[in-house]
Amino acid sequence: MDRVSSFDEPLKKLLGGATAKVMAEHLDLHTVGDLLHHYPRRYEERGKLTALADLPLDEHVTVVAQVADARILMFNNGRGKRLEVTLTDGSGRLQLVFFGHGVHKPHKELLPGRQAMFAGKASVFNRKMQLAHPTYQLLDASDADEATEAVDAFAGRLLPIYPACKQLDSWRIAKAVDAVLPSARDAVEPLPASLREGRGFTPLPEALLKVHRPQTKADVEDARARLKWDEAFVLQVALARRRYADTQLPAVARRPVADGLLDAFDAKLPFTLTEGQKKVSKEIFDDLATEHPMHRLLQGEVGSGKTMVALRAMLTVVDAGGQAAMLAPTEVLAQQHHRSITEMMGELAEGGMLGGSDRGTKVVLLTGSMGMAARRQALLDLVTGEAGIVIGTHALIEDKVQFHDLGLVVVDEQHRFGVEQRDALRSKGKQPPHLLVMTATPIPRTVAMTVFGDLETSVLDQLPAGRSPIASHVVPAKDKPHFLSRAWERVREEVGNGHQAYVVCPRIGDDAEEAEGKGGKKAKAKKQAADEDPEKRPPLAVLEIADELRKGALAGLSVEVLHGRMHPDAKDDVMRRFAAGDVDVLVATTVIEVGVNVPNATAMVIMDADRFGVSQLHQLRGRVGRGSAPGLCLLVSEAHEASPARARLSAVAATLDGFELSRIDLEQRREGDVLGQAQSGVRSSLRMLTVIDDEEVIAAAREEAVAVVAADPELEHLPELRTVLAALLDKDREEYLDKG
């Protein structure tokens, strides 16, 4: 078997069809290499019991503990029986529950004093932590042969606890790893020898053996240090190659022109730019003046003035004879940008029109729902070059759309936009256009280096003068219902003072299956589940909450709804009336999350706030306090006070610093989520590296990677590294990086 193919061997051959199927479907493991890179999450020491006090709720957990007590209880007039087993470890207690016919075997085996590994989903019942119907493996079997086997397998060893799933326990995964471990000898070394020796790393085959079957804690440290470096280095080499390839592409340099559109625009600004805006603008102008395409990420706090910076870049390109396109993720946002940019530019946005400035240009909007005549005119303005700036949704990418000379693409809210779309738009230039990607979700430096490593980064962390502070509070609706009543009173007070408010809900409501007469059984089952367990109720919905508020707490106020299923004209109409102050309270989904700018809106109530992510809550909150009056954001939740969800909300309420929140967010979620989202749905390759803790490793690996690629862009002298890159960058990932 050659060196690469043993890692490519399908698991089905070695483990049998049933196990391989579960691994593929539930753990995304398909080959021997995948399983060897499925590292233990942690290790238990034989004889040392797990801290039961620290178990995470609602997660599939594996614990090693001792049986303190076991008893059978009858219920339902003796017709049903339940086995309750109490485990202990000195730090806390945990209850196991078995029902029905499943009680016999554990009743015989789980005797007081016995020690075993247990796996199941941790939940709370009657205020006690419990595992219902866990699987288990005894660590001190009574049968002599079994005892010897168990002792051989576990005594004096660190027990690897693997990321598992309901269908496959950690110890079954450990047995599967035993079957493929001999293949670790065939691991291809990605690190150049000089780097490996210079940093004193363990060889890769040895690191794989040590991580899966360590004899000592030092083995684990050794292996982790090596495997983290591999992940960081290979990913950074991929990104460095992308950056290098981009510098080889030709682009038209777009240099600022004196007394052009930009100067005219700057002269009529009613305020001065912040120092941050000036600094970032200079970085962008310098990039635009070069003859290879700019690839820059502009990240900044909600309201830090990114649109202003992007607009000035677009005006520079128009001055230099090119066109600029701004891509927004939703029609509401595209319309909003078009409105605010034409307002900011005034007569400069009416080039060629009566009353327009002779230095002006045309600013056109292009969305999927436009009427035929308006659409035809917009397309004509683009192909003739009459329109210097176009703002639109993915409708801009369609084949029909042709540009006269596309010089700059600005992508708003990068994480909403697939890389394929960015690529399609870029291909519309005669030469690759410059690219500016904007995000309002502040990204910690390490994530920026890892996810957006093929982009240069600019940061706006200063808010413009005149922005007001926002007070945030958690409203525990379940524990203290009177707090919720007070929240609606506060909304009335804001409206009474001449302001407006948002109410945000996670769901639209009026779902097909919940409508009268449709899927009645499903709706009934949902309702029953919600009655029994409030945690299982569906998230609160815009249509229902708006209806309740009109009839109850906010009766007499003008309450309107906004959501994604509305006709674009209806959406635009509601937004216009809200912006004009004709609507007091807007009940909406997260469609208002980005870009909606109504300075008179001062209050926001977020229902079921625990159902949103940290960065999403921060984004939503940024919609209030945009004028001179202070903002108020109320996070309504029924989550239990001690739950991780409530901890998240408290963190959001405690700080307005988006960069601080993005760190908290990253600590609370797995990197895979963060990277996966930013990488356009491509599965994260990071298994050992934790972006939040390994900043130094990532920074050092980036430096090494840049040096390696500068010396040998095609990696001709590093065939092993090329092989490993090819395996990491499967088709999807390669495309992701190519289109970055």
pLDDT in tens, 95-137: 898 887 778 888 888 889 888 888 777 888 877 888 888 878 8
The pair of structure tokens assigned to 104 is: 């016999």
Burial of 427 (0-12, 13-18, 19+ CB in 10 A): exposed
Mean pLDDT of 661-668: 73
Residue 555, number of CB atoms within 10 A of its CB: 9
Per DSSP, helices labelled H in 292-347 are: 306-319, 331-345
CA atoms of 248 and 283, how far apart (whole Å): 20
More confident residue, 571 or 318: 318
CA atoms of 9 and 12, how far apart (whole Å): 9
* Contact in structure between 186 and 723 (CB atoms under 8 Å): no
More confident residue, 91 or 108: 108
CA atoms of 1 and 268, how far apart (whole Å): 72
Closest to 635 in 3D by CA, of 495, 507, 509, 477: 477
Query: What are all long-range contacts of 669-673, with beta carbons under 8 Å and residues at least 24 apart?
Result: 669/613
Residue 49, number of CB atoms within 10 A of its CB: 17
Q: Note the pLDDT of residue 678.
A: 41
Average pLDDT of the chain, as a whole number: 81
* Contact in structure between 542 and 508 (CB atoms under 8 Å): yes
pTM of the model: 0.67
The pair of structure tokens assigned to 387 is: 């329109």
The pair of structure tokens assigned to 602 is: 């001062």
pLDDT in tens, 419-459: 566 677 677 878 889 989 888 777 777 777 776 777 788 88
Burial of 278 (0-12, 13-18, 19+ CB in 10 A): exposed
Identify the bridge partners of residue 587 per DSSP, sorted by sequence position. Answer: 503, 561
The pair of structure tokens assigned to 171 is: 């110890």
Q: Give the model's confidence band at 534: pLDDT under 50 very low, under 70 low, under 90 confident, else very high.
A: very low
Closest to 313 in 3D by CA, of 296, 333, 335: 296
Relative to beta strand 158-161, strand 323-327 is unpaired
Residue 385, number of CB atoms within 10 A of its CB: 16
Give me the sheet containing 362-366, strands edge to edge: 362-366, 387-392, 323-327, 406-412, 434-439, 295-300, 456-460
- Show Cβ contacts of residue 400 under 8 Å, excluding neighbours closer than 6 positions: 379
Mean pLDDT of 692-710: 87
CA atoms of 646 and 659, how far apart (whole Å): 20
Q: Which range is least confidently modeled, 108-112, 474-478, 514-518, 631-635?
A: 514-518
Mean pLDDT of 48-74: 77
pLDDT in tens, 537-552: 788 889 999 999 999 9
The pLDDT > 90 percentage for the chain reads 28
Q: DSSP assignment, residue 633? A: E
pLDDT in tens, 346-363: 888 887 665 666 778 899
The pair of structure tokens assigned to 308 is: 């202003």
CA atoms of 72 and 65, how far apart (whole Å): 20
Q: Give the model's confidence band at 660: pLDDT under 50 very low, under 70 low, under 90 confident, else very high.
A: confident
* Contact in structure between 124 and 131 (CB atoms under 8 Å): no
Per DSSP, helices labelled H in 249-404 are: 261-267, 275-288, 306-319, 331-345, 372-384
Query: Does residue 90 carry a pLDDT above 50?
Result: yes
Asked whether the CA dihedral 697, 698, 701, 707 is positive or negative, the reply is negative
Query: Does residue 232 carry a pLDDT above 80?
Result: yes
Q: Is 735 in a helix, a strand, or coil?
A: helix
- Show Cβ contacts of residue 225 under 8 Å, excluding neighbours closer than 6 positions: 201, 202
CA atoms of 694 and 446, how far apart (whole Å): 8
Which stretch of DSSP H or E encloses residue 635?
A: strand 631-637
CA atoms within 13 A on the CB side of 601: 26
Q: Note the pLDDT of residue 565.
A: 85
Relative to beta strand 80-88, strand 60-75 is antiparallel
Mean pLDDT of 26-39: 88
Per DSSP, helices labelled H in 167-260 are: 170-180, 193-198, 204-212, 217-248
